[in-house]
Structure formats: structure tokens, C-alpha cells
Amino acid sequence: MSTSPACLVSSVANASLRFVQRGYPVYRCTSCGLEFVWPIPGPAELAEYYDRGYAVPLERYAAAGARNAARIADIERFCPARGRLLEIGASYGHSLLAARERGWQVTGVELSPTASAHARQELGLEIYNCDLQDAPLPEASFDAVILWHVLEHVRDPRAQVLRIGELLKPGGFLGLRVPNIESFGARVAGQWWPWMCPPAHLWFFSRTTLPRLLDSCGFDILETRTLRGDGNNLYQYALMAAGNWLNELRHSLRPSPRASDQRARAAAAPSGAAPVAAVVGPPASRDGAQPSVASPPPSGLMQRWLHTLERAQPITNAMARGTRWIVEPLEKRGWGDELLVYARKRRPAQAERG
């Protein structure tokens, strides 16, 4: 790249290339720490990706009724009177169904034709099958807006948040969940963190960068915390990281092959093949939706390592349960894979003072 990309949050064109994942360059802003894919894939490329390889499992969403109700109850700490609720990325509508059962008037926006049709026909919900910018929604008409694992997918998060501000009433409430780039898993697994999965995820926020973006768009931060979410346990992440580090060490100690051998291997490799290390640790559920990315079959050594990881999972799960009193506070204080931010739209007088 001839120029450095400008950061969405700091607006400073001083980002450094961190690595290339699945063929997509991932940059890190040296000013604020935001990580992002650049250049942003075009709408046609993203549409092709989602049509080809992004599954939205109905069974997983339908089975999460207690979780959905708990999430809605959590936001009612800030909106006890309830009112009109908009969910962006409503999927099959189960979160909105839980909200409706708790007394909210609900509306949703969902890009998937299959999921939005299910929400309308099976659950009787008002769901618009379109992008938020194209939804025929009246301004200043909602008391609350929620986005669970949506903002990391969109091409322009700032435009998304500004549009949400237009739809909310003054003093309206916003709830966001995104992957946490400062989590333990992100730090130790690095490039192979399951949520580091472009082009599904284009933006990687932290406890400082997401509140800073919201503040610049006219929101006051009410609460910021991290959770384990759908991520793995810390012990399994440590094993995954150890495997990657050992693999890198093995490659660094291996004698450098002749240039002719390198060219021969490059010619034999399939176009666009992902590194073998990419198969370590399958993508996390990302709130139920699992992108499918083709990768070459693992080597014998890698297959043995993956088998070891699979056998270790019940052990690390048991360790996580046994040390929950230690691990859970760490996940809530920054180590968790999921970042949760609650904010409120500034009223006009507050915006002028700001």
C-alpha cells in the first residue's frame, strides 16, 4: 500500500500493518489501537461471501431463549419503562420475541431473507429485510436500539452509529456487543484468534476505541464490560497459542530451502490457500452465525495437534469450571472475548455543551 489508511476512531492516517489474514490486510492504528481490515471489501465482494459461506443456524438461536430474555432484562436497568425497541441484525427474531414478551414494542432489521421471513411468518414480528440505511423507519421514534455482534461486520460503523442516533429519541438507549480485541484469546492467539475472521469481521474494537467512537457520534457511555460470550476458555486458548508458537519455532529452526524449492512449492499450492495454522481452533459461534472458510487439509503433524486439542477440551472446560471464581472476574475486567457497551443518546442541550 502506498499510503497509510485513516483510522475510523482517531481519524489519524498512521496505521501499521499487523498481518494478512485469509488474504485480507489487518492494520492497527498507532494512535488509538483500533484494528481493522483495509481496504474495506466492496459491497459485491461481501454479498458474495455471505451468500456463499455464512450460515445462520436457526436451531442455535431458537435454543437460546433464556439468554435472550436475560439480555433484554439487562438493558431494562437503563430503560425500566420499556417502550419501542429496534434490533439491528435481528436474525430469526428470537431476541425481539423475548423483548415483546416482556412488554416492549419491537421492530427489527435483518439482511438475511430466510431469517427475516421466519421472524415475520413464524413469530409475527415487524422485520425489514434490508440494510439499516434503507429501512423506512421514522426518526426519533425508538426508546432503545440493540446490535448484538453486528458492528464488526458493517463497512462503515460510524455511518451506522450516526443513523442509530437519528432513529433514537433524545435520551434514547443503545446496547452493543462486539468481539474484544484486547481479550486474553486475542492477545495469545493473535492472528489465529477465532474472531479474527475477515471478511466476516472488518473492525476489531476495544474498551477504549468503541466508547470513543460512540462519544464522537453523540452518545454518553453508561457502562462498559467484557464477558466470555461464545469464546473458548482461557486454558484452551493457552494451548492453541502454544501450538502456534511451537509451529513458528519449528519453522524458524528448519534450514532455509533453496529458492528453486520454494518456487516449486508455490507453483504446486492452490491459489489463495490459507496457512496451515489457520485450522487451529475453528471459528467461534459469533452469536450463532458461523462463516465457512476453505482451508487446505492439515499435515499429519497438524492433525495430531488438532486431535490433542480436541481431547484436551473437556479437561480445560473442567479446569475453567473449577477455577470459575478466579477466571470470571478476569473475563469481566478485560479478558473476555465479548465487549459489551451501553450508551445513551445526548439530549440537545447536552450535545451543545459537549
| Domain hosting residue 139, numbered range | 15-232+332-353
Mean pLDDT of the chain: 81
Does some domain include residue 50? yes
Note whether residue 254 is domain-resident: no
Q: Identify the burial level of 152 via C-beta atoms within 10 angstroms of its C-beta, where 0-12 means exposed, 13-18 middle and 19 or more buried.
A: buried
Residue 325 domain-assigned (yes or no): no
What is the model's pLDDT at position 112?
85
Mean pLDDT of 299-310: 71
- The single-letter code of the amino acid at 92 is Y
- The better pLDDT of the pair 254, 279 is held by 254
CATH number assigned to the domain comprising residue 194: 3.40.50.150
Instruction: Give the pLDDT confidence of 181-219 residue by residue, as tens digits.
Output: 999 889 888 888 889 999 999 999 999 999 999 999 999
C-alpha cell belonging to residue 282: 475453528
Number of domains in the chain: 1
- Can the peptide bond before residue 275 be classed as cis, meaning omega within 30 degrees of 0? no
Write out pLDDT tens, residues 36-68: 999 999 988 888 887 775 566 666 666 677 888
The alpha helices in the chain, defined as continuous H runs, are: 43-53, 58-62, 65-75, 94-101, 113-121, 157-167, 184-189, 209-216, 234-253, 259-268, 300-322, 324-330, 348-353
Residue-wise burial string across 69-79, b where 16 or more C-beta atoms lie within 10 A, e elsewhere: bebbeebbeeb
Report whether the peptide linkage leading into residue 199 is cis, meaning its omega lies within 30 degrees of zero: yes
Percent of the chain with pLDDT over 90: 48
Q: Given the DSSP bridges, would you call strands 84-88 and 142-148 parallel, antiparallel or unpaired?
A: parallel
Question: 168-179 and 142-148 as β-strands: parallel, antiparallel, unpaired?
Answer: parallel
- pLDDT average, residue stretch 248-258: 64
Average pLDDT over residues 291-311: 61
| pLDDT at residue 277 is higher than 90 | no
Residue 336 resides in a domain: yes
Burial per residue of 117-145, b for 16 or more beta-carbon CB atoms within 10 angstroms, e otherwise: ebbbeebebebbbeebeebeeeeeebbbb
Question: What is the DSSP-derived secondary structure letter of residue 279?
Answer: G
Residue 25 within a domain: yes
Three cell numbers written together for 209: 476505541
Give the pLDDT confidence score for residue 295 in this predicted structure: 43
Per-residue confidence (pLDDT) for residue 318, from 0 to 100 = 84
Residue 269 confidence (pLDDT) above 80:
no
Residue 143 belongs to some domain of the structure = yes
Q: Could you give the CA distance from residue 214 to residue 312 in angstroms, rounded to a whole number? A: 40
> Residue 162 corresponds to which cell in the numbers above?
450516526
Are 65 and 141 in contact by the 8 Å Cβ rule? The answer is no
- Rank 33-47, 233-247, 301-315 by mean pLDDT and report only the highest: 33-47
Q: Which residue has better confidence, 13 or 55?
A: 13
Query: Side chain identity at 197, as an amino acid letter?
Result: C
Are 196 and 248 in contact, with CB atoms under 8 Å apart? no
pLDDT of residue 281: 36
- Nearest Cα neighbor of 225 from 152, 145, 328, 154 is 328
What confidence score (pLDDT) does residue 24 get? 93
Whether 128 maps to a domain, the answer reads yes
Q: Are 163 and 132 in contact (CB under 8 A)?
A: yes
Q: Between 348 and 148, name the one with better pLDDT.
A: 148
pLDDT for residue 250 is more than 60: yes
Does residue 296 sit within a domain? no
